[in-house]
Amino acid sequence: MSTATRVTSLSPSLIRAMSVGAPPEAIDLGLGVPGWALPEPARAALARCADRDEPLGYGPNGGVPELVAAVGDYHLLANADRADQVMVTAGSQAALTALFLAHVSPGQIVLVPDPGFPAYATLARLAGALPVPYRLGAQGALDPAVFTAALDTGDVALAVINHPGNPTGGGASLDALAAVASASRAAGAVLVSDEVYREVHLGPRPASLRDVTDSGVVVSSVSKGWAAPGLRVGWAVGDPALLQPARLVHNAMTTSAAQTSQLAATALLRASDQVLRQTRRELITRWSVAQTGPAAVRPVGTPAGGFYAWIPVPQWAAHDTTGFCLRVRDEGSVVVVPGTAFGAAGEGFVRVSCGGDPKLLAQGLARMAPFWEAP
């Protein structure tokens, strides 16, 4: 595939596209962003930066040392390993992009979860590769048998797991993580574990790939758990041999993540106890709204993490999920994302983001419910 074809094969994310053309009074339950204020430690750090009467340089390509150390502490890395095992990036999105472009060659295969975050397939195509979906198990949990079978599909360069998962909120057990890590190693595929929702949980703290192995790469960011998507700070942690080429790509893409943002992200990570406690409080508030809302659109069960409700559409609309979501948007004035935005296995579901303002969430659910009741 030529580079030009690779780019024309990309299309705007359906997650964003759903809000384009929405009625002006529409309530947006589409975008997955935390709807509470930027936590105070980040605001204080940004104010300190603004007060400094000194040049604002680019900073080191690999991230400011304070943040590299804070990420290292968060992932329990030994001091000596940090410079090699941490790559600071412009959000986890840039970490994923750099890893894909560094490790995937045209014509190869990338395994992506289905349903899963659409950027994985987009990045695979951008690298000239073929995204091959693998199905998730019950409640969106990682199913190592299905994943391992998918590794036999052909020349798999890279495989992504996402837990807790977007859009389903499904998790991964320690056993499942160990099994997919060992199968990926045996197949020679780079395993990338996207853990951006790890700190957004109502129940027990979800496991990390790093709890079972040092191989592969974990990506994360301050965007969800630390409620700071606009800082655009993320990171990759893992095998230095995998990070080294990805650093070169990230440097070529962005030089480095914004320096002021990195200092704010450092303040957030250093205040994790306080910031993550607030995240859980905010999540509980929103989840109780969803669980006491109209029965027709009530989430079934509690996700392993994330702030999404993954709700079946009514039977009569199951063959046309996108059309149904457009009706809910245009006639009911609520933006939700059709499950098909996340892969073929999303047909018959909608993703409702519960991350925003709780009052708007309650109103949005009330507006949605009648569409579940009558054709």
Ligand X SMILES: Cc1ncc(COP(=O)(O)O)c(C=O)c1O
Chain residue at closest Cβ approach to ligand X? 91
Cα 295 to Cα 263, 273, 326, 365, 369: the distances in Å are: 44, 35, 21, 10, 8
Query: In 3-state terms, the chain is what percent helix, strand and coil (to 5)?
Result: 50, 15, 35
Q: How far is it, in rounded angstroms, from Cα 242 to Cα 261?
A: 25
Q: Which of 81, 86, 123, 80 is nearest to 235 (CA)?
A: 86
Q: Which is nearer to ligand X, 108 or 223 (CB)?
A: 223
**In the block, residue with structure tokens 């925003």:** 356
Q: Which is nearer to ligand X, 91 or 339 (CB)?
A: 91
Q: Which is nearer to ligand X, 264 or 317 (CB)?
A: 264
Q: Which of 188, 193, 214, 225 is nearest to 307 (CA)?
A: 225
Q: Is 46 helix (H, G, I), strand (E, B) or coil?
A: helix
Count Cα neighbours of 19 within 13 Å in the Cβ-side half-sphere: 11
Minimum distance from CB of 226 to ligand X (Å)? 10
Copy the structure tokens of residue 284: 């509980």
Angle between helices 40-51 and 259-270 (to 10 degrees): 140
Minimum distance from CB of 171 to ligand X (Å)? 13
Supply the DSSP string of 209-270, one letter for each residue: GGGT-SSSEEEEESSSTTS-GGG--EEEEE-HHHHHHHHHHHHHHHSSS-HHHHHHHHHHHH
Q: Which is nearer to ligand X, 223 or 266 (CB)?
A: 223
List of residues contacting ligand X (CB under 6 A): 32, 91-93, 117, 162, 166, 194, 196, 221, 223, 229, 234
Minimum distance from CB of 255 to ligand X (Å)? 17
Q: Which is nearer to ligand X, 158 or 317 (CB)?
A: 158
Q: Which is nearer to ligand X, 163 or 270 (CB)?
A: 163
Minimum distance from CB of 162 to ligand X (Å)? 5
Q: Which is nearer to ligand X, 95 or 176 (CB)?
A: 95
Minimum distance from CB of 51 to ligand X (Å)? 27
Q: Which is nearer to ligand X, 207 or 317 (CB)?
A: 207
Minimum distance from CB of 371 to ligand X (Å)? 25
Minimum distance from CB of 298 to ligand X (Å)? 23
Per-residue three-class SS string for 154-203: CCEEEEEEECCCCCCCCCCCHHHHHHHHHHHHHHCCEEEEECCCCCCCCC
Minimum distance from CB of 181 to ligand X (Å)? 19
